[in-house]
C-alpha cells in the first residue's frame, strides 16, 4: 500500500505512537492533516491535534523547564519549530539537535553557568540539548521580560540584533513591532512561535482561543535589561 495514501499516513501515525517516535508521529500528522491548523481545534479531532502539537521528549522537557520556571509548553513549541522533534537534526548553519543549538551557544551557556571547564556538550543527546536550550530560553525571558515575541526573535536572530531593532523605543504594539522586524525569516519565525504557543494551550490545557491568547502581551516593553548577548 503506497504510504502517500491517506489511510497509510494514519497507519504511520499509529506506528509512531506505538514505538514512541514523536518525529514520525508529527510529520505523518502534518502531511495528512496540516489543513486543520487553518481553523480552531475541534473536540473530535483532539488526537490529531495532539499529534500536530506533540509533547515529545517529555521526560527531558518537563523537568528541565520546570526547574528553571519556564513553561514546558514553550519548550515544546521551540522544539516543534526548530527541529520538528528530530533529535539528529543539523541545520545548514550547523545548529544541532532538538532546539537547534549552535555549539558556540552551548559553550557560552556553559561559561555563564560557571562550567566552562566541562567537556564539550553532546548536543545530539536530547537530555543535554533540552537542558541547555531551556536554560537559554530562561535567560532570554529574564532579559526580555518574558515577552514571547521578543524571546522568539532573540532566539532566532540573537539578542544583539533584536536590541538594534528597538530604535530607541521604550514600548511598541506587538503587531507593529513584529511587522517592522527587518528580516522576513525572523518575522515569520515569531509569528509561527506565537501561533504554536497558543495552539499548545488550546490542545493540552483545554483553553478556548481567547484564554489561550491571554499568555501573549498586547504591547511590548522594550526596556533594555542586562543579560545574555549571544
**What are the grid coordinates assigned to 143, written together?**
532579559
Quick one: which of 126, 140, 75, 132 has its CA closest to 109?
132
**Secondary structure letter of residue 182 according to DSSP:** S
* Catalytic-labelled residue, pool 14, 23, 47, 82: 82
Phi-psi region of 149 (alpha: psi -120 to 50; beta: other; left: phi over 0): alpha
**What are the grid coordinates assigned to 80, written together?**
516543534
Residue 205 and residue 64: Cα distance in Å, rounded?
Answer: 20
**What are the grid coordinates assigned to 137, written together?**
530560553
130-146 core/surface letters (b: 16 or more CB in 10 A; e: else): bbbbbbbbbbbbbbbeb
Q: How far apart are the first and last CA of the chain?
A: 49
Catalytic annotation present for 205:
no
- Chain centre distance of CA 64: 14
Q: 101 — phi, psi (to 5°)?
A: -85, 135
Active site (catalytic) residues = 82
Amino acid at each position: 500500500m503506497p504510504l502517500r495514501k491517506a489511510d497509510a499516513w494514519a497507519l504511520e501515525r499509529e506506528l509512531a505512537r506505538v514505538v514512541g517516535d514523536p518525529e514520525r508521529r508529527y510529520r505523518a500528522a502534518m502531511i495528512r492533516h496540516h489543513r486543520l491548523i487553518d481553523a480552531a481545534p475541534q473536540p473530535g479531532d483532539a488526537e490529531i491535534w495532539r499529534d500536530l502539537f506533540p509533547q515529545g521528549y517529555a521526560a527531558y522537557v518537563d523537568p528541565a523547564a520546570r526547574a528553571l520556571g519556564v513553561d514546558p509548553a514553550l519548550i515544546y513549541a521551540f522544539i516543534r519549530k526548530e527541529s520538528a522533534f528530530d533529535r539528529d537534526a543539523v541545520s545548514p548553519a550547523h545548529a544541532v539537535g532538538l532546539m537547534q543549538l549552535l555549539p558556540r551557544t552551548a559553550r557560552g551557556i556553559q561559561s555563564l553557568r560557571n562550567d566552562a571547564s566541562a567537556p564539550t556538550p553532546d548536543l545530539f543527546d536530547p537530555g543535554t540539548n533540552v537542558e541547555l536550550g531551556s536554560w537559554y530560553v530562561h535567560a532570554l525571558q529574564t532579559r526580555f521580560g518574558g515577552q514571547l515575541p521578543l524571546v522568539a526573535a532573540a532566539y532566532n536572530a540573537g539578542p544583539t540584533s533584536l536590541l538594534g531593532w528597538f530604535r530607541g523605543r521604550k514600548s511598541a504594539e506587538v503587531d507593529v513591532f513584529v511587522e517592522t522586524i527587518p528580516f522576513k525569516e525572523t518575522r515569520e519565525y515569531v509569528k509561527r512561535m506565537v501561533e504554536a504557543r497558543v495552539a499548545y494551550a488550546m490542545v493540552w490545557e483545554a483553553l478556548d482561543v481567547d484564554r489561550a491568547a491571554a499568555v501573549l502581551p498586547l504591547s511590548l516593553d522594550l526596556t533594555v535589561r542586562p543579560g545574555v548577548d549571544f
